[in-house]
Structure 1
C-alpha cells in the first residue's frame, strides 16, 4: 500500500466533487437496478488500497453524532459523568438535535499515529463510517454526497461506481 497524501486528495476532490455528486444524484433519481451489488463489489476493491490510519481525515475534519448510549458508554470509559462529558466535549446541534464534538480534530484522535484512544467504545457513527456496507445504498446517497468530500475511500468508491456504471473516468 502506498503512502497517502491528504493534500493531493483534497486537490483532486475539489476538482471532481461536482462530477461525483451529480453522478450520485442521477443514481438517486433513477434508482438503477443492481446498484447495491455494484456498490458492494466495488467497496471490496476500494479497501484493497485504503488504510484509514494513513488518513484519519474524518476524525480531523468531521464530527460524529453521539447517541445517548454513546455518551453513557464513552463517559464511563473515560471516568466522567455523562453530563461532565457533554459539558467538556460536546454541543447540542439544535437543528438536528444531535450531540456533536465542539472542536476538530476529534479530542480522542492521536495525531501522532491517527489512532483513536477510545476505539473500543467509539461512537456508533464512527464504527459505521464511511457507511459503505449498508444494505440499501440508495438510502445513504445523501451521506455519500457529503462523505465524498472528506473520505478518500468514499471518493474512490463513487469514482469506481461511476466508471463501472457509466464508463466515465475522472482526471
Structure 2
C-alpha cells in the first residue's frame, strides 16, 4: 500500500460488509455515479496495485471472444491452442484461467499481457462505473480482496450526502 491509512483494511472491510451491503441497496445511483471518478482516481493514487495483485493471484477475469482473439494473435497462437493452454470454462459458462495465480502474472506483479489484457482486467475493480451499484454481490466480493474497492466504499459510506 502506498499509504499507512489503509493498514488493516482487510479486517475493516470484513467488519463493514453489512454497512457496504446496506449502502449499495439504498444508494442514490446518480449521486454515487457523480462521485465515482474522483474516488476512483484517489484510490489509485493511494493504492499501488503492483504491491498487491490479489486479483491476479486469486481470481480470474472472464476471457470473452474478442479478448481471446486479440491475446492469441498477439502471442502468435491459434485461438484453440490459447484456450487449451490457458483457459477452462467455469460454472457460468465463461472462459477463465485454468489456475491461480494467473499464468500471465509476473513475479514483480506486472502483467505479461498488460497491453492486450482482457476487458475485465482493464475495467477492474469497476470503481469508476455503474457496475459498483448494479452488481452489489460483485462489489462486496471485490471489497474482500481489493483495497481499491475498500477505499471507494469507505469514502462513499462516510460521505454525508450518501447518508
Class of the TM-score when normalised by the shorter of the 2 chains? 0.7 to 0.9
User: Counterparts of 1:77-96 in structure 2 under 5 Å?
Assistant: 77-93=74-90, 95-96=91-92
Aligned to 1:63: 60
1:104 aligns with 2:88: no
TM-score by length of 1: 0.81
Which string of whole-angstrom CA distances, capped at 9 and with x for unpartnered residues, describes residues 70-101 of structure 1? 111112222322111111211112x4221011
**d(CA) in 1 for partners of 2:29, 2:22:** 15
Distance 1:109 1:122, change over 3 A: same
TM-score by length of 2: 0.84
> What is the Cα deviation at residue 140 of structure 1?
4.0
SS at structure 2 position matched to 1:91: strand
Does structure 1 retain, via aligned residues, the 8 Å contact 2:56–2:101? yes
Q: Higher helix share goes to which structure?
A: 2
> What is the Cα deviation at residue 104 of structure 1?
0.8
> What is the Cα deviation at residue 33 of structure 1?
4.6
Structure 1, unmatched stretches of 5+, are none
**d(CA) in 1 for partners of 2:9, 2:39:** 19
What's the Cα RMSD here? 2.6
Aligned to 2:25: 25
Q: How many residues are matched?
A: 162
> What is the Cα deviation at residue 26 of structure 1?
2.7
